[in-house]
């Protein structure tokens, strides 16, 4: 007994419906080691700071948009008098000096962080923060 042509064709085509082998996975994008180091260095900062747009202030102010902002001027945050009275705008250079020794850079600041002594670590942290905290 011969199978009807339609049945033979169905069986033949069913074997063709297997998924095609997938192409090789795309390689993961290269990770910038400096940016990755900056991200890691920011982890302890997250205790007091967020960087998300519209995020809340914590013990420290939200750092989103900090570059180009006048020191001590984030609306609604209760800055120390030293920061409220500071007359500078946050730049990478200012942040580098601040992060090296916050209390020494601006006496009277209430930031309880001892600083980042290694210049390469500060550079990585600042580069990452500039990229993440952009307005």
Q: What is the mean pLDDT of residues 104-131?
A: 94
Global pTM reads 0.74
The CA distance from 46 to 34, in Å, is 19
**Are the C-beta atoms of residues 86 and 58 closer than 8 Å to each other?**
no
Cα 125 vs. chain centroid, distance in angstroms?
10
Residue 49's nearest CA partner among 31, 65, 33, 68 is 65
The CA distance from 65 to 53, in Å, is 8
Residue 90's nearest CA partner among 112, 110, 105, 108 is 105
Confidence of residue 34 (pLDDT cuts 50, 70, 90): confident
Q: Is pLDDT at 46 greater than 90 in this prediction?
A: yes
């Amino acid at each position: 007994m011969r199978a009807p042509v339609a049945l033979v064709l169905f069986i033949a085509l069913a074997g063709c419906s297997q998924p095609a082998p997938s192409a090789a996975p795309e390689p993961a994008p290269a990770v910038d080691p400096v940016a990755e180091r900056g991200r890691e260095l920011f982890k302890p900062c997250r205790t007091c700071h967020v960087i998300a747009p519209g995020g809340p202030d914590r013990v420290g102010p939200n750092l989103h948009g900090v570059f180009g902002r006048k020191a001590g001027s984030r609306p609604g945050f209760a800055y120390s008098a030293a920061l409220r009275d500071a007359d500078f705008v946050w730049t990478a250079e200012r942040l580098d000096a601040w992060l090296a020794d916050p209390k020494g850079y601006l006496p009277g600041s209430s930031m309880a962080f001892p600083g980042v002594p290694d210049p390469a670590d500060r550079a990585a942290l600042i580069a990452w923060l500039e990229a993440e905290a952009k307005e």
